[in-house]
Amino acid sequence: MMIFILLILTLNFSCSESSTKEELYKTEIAANSESNYLKFTSGISAIFQDSEGNHWFGSLEEGVAVYNGKSFRYFTIKDGLTDNQIRTIQEDNNGVIWFSTQNGVSSYDGSIIRNHTYSVNGTSTDIFTIQNTNPLQGEWMKSDNDLWFSASIKEGVYRYDGEKIKYLAFPPQKVLNLTDNLFAVTDISYGKDNMVWIATYAGVFGYNGSDFTIINDETLGFDRKVAPLHIRSILEDSKGRLWIGNNGIGVLLKQEGLTINFSEEKNLIHPTSGMKGDKSPAGTLEHVFTIAEDSQGNIWFGDRDAGIWRYDGRTMKNYTKADGLSDYFALSIYEDNNGKLWFGMADGTVNTFDGKSFFKQF
């Protein structure tokens, strides 16, 4: 009888210990991969909704997070990303998610992160593996399946054609100003007539599959000696207008063969502005790090110092903390598949807009 009691106690203790270990294991996994709030503290540099409805958020220093409507999951260099600074997030025709980072390009197919352009010292597990490759120099060409990426500090881009990724160097350019990093890519916009617009600090390369359109201090015809181009964002909108956001001289607008300084036109350059990197007062549009168009045709601008601006084709409206913004500096603006507008802020928060006011979503 005593032996039987000891056996039962042993089994109960063993089951209890096993159950405790299992619960601890589940808790540890949950703590490491999922939560119901976004834990980023660095700026939100990219926002994207995939074909399955998941929202992706890229940060400046902490990798990327995906939100399935209930909880977050995080990916960093430990999981195979080339870098924790995320620049863009895209999806290819096969549902694979692609990340452009400070140091290269990575992809995620739902189970494996692959590194396509850069060797990293990440941690490989049975779930996440790293595939290190070295993109070959490619010929400039274009197809309907292309995805385009920044090539970090290199003066060129990475092009993925649906099968392979290759590095494309820009045509040699004359140095016209002393902008840092010169022709390193800062933003990319897909436009009409098969055009891809590639913004760099010192100029824009437009490519349609055969010819280049070059926009720089010389081709603009402006006197840029005092305040040269320092491009941070670009957008070709649904009307074919090209918007070029600068860190200093505001927004340039190119349409029907003419280019104007849109910020000056709207009296949004302060009279005492040095039109460079100096901090700007409220009510200005001088340091534009992100530009987006919503489904209603409104153009949105994220300014470094003065909050968010909306242009409806006639008037400009400025939104600040008084309208619910958590921060004045928006790094990314995105409209999802349901028409919801998302704003990634420099303080690591994500705001949404209800048509009148802003709310901190995460």
Q: Model confidence over 312-362: pLDDT tens digits?
A: 999 999 999 999 999 999 999 999 999 999 999 999 999 999 999 999 999
Smallest Cα–Cα separation from 329: which of 296, 290, 359? 290
By the 10 Å C-beta count (0-12 exposed, 13-18 middle, 19+ buried), 121 is classed as exposed
Q: For position 182, what pLDDT does the model report?
A: 86
Span 191-217, mean pLDDT?
94
pLDDT digits (tens, 9 = 90+) for 167-196: 999 998 888 776 666 899 999 999 998 999
**Per-domain residue ranges for the chain?**
39-134
Query: Contact 60/43 with Cβ under 8 angstroms?
Result: yes
Residue 158's contacts (CB-CB under 8 Å, 6 or more residues apart) are 100, 104, 105, 116, 117, 135, 148, 149, 150, 151, 165, 166, 167, 168
Residues 240-257, mean pLDDT to the nearest whole number: 95
State the average pLDDT over residues 120-142. Answer: 56
Q: And the tokens for 177?
A: 């100003």
Q: For 135-151, how does the pLDDT look when each residue is reduced to its tens digit (9 = 90+)?
A: 678 889 999 889 999 99
Q: What is the mean pLDDT of the chain?
A: 86
> Which CATH number does 39-134 carry?
2.40.10.500
Question: Measuring CA to CA, how many Å separate 199 from each of 204, 213, 315?
Answer: 5, 12, 26
In this model, does residue 250 exceed pLDDT 50? yes
Specify whether the CB–CB gap between 321 and 307 falls below 8 A: yes
pLDDT surpasses 50 at 25 = no
Compute the average pLDDT of residues 205-214: 95
More confident residue, 57 or 144: 57
Assign 271 to helix, strand or coil.
coil
Residues 71-84, mean pLDDT to the nearest whole number: 95
pLDDT in tens, 297-307: 999 999 999 99
Whether the model pTM is above 0.95? no
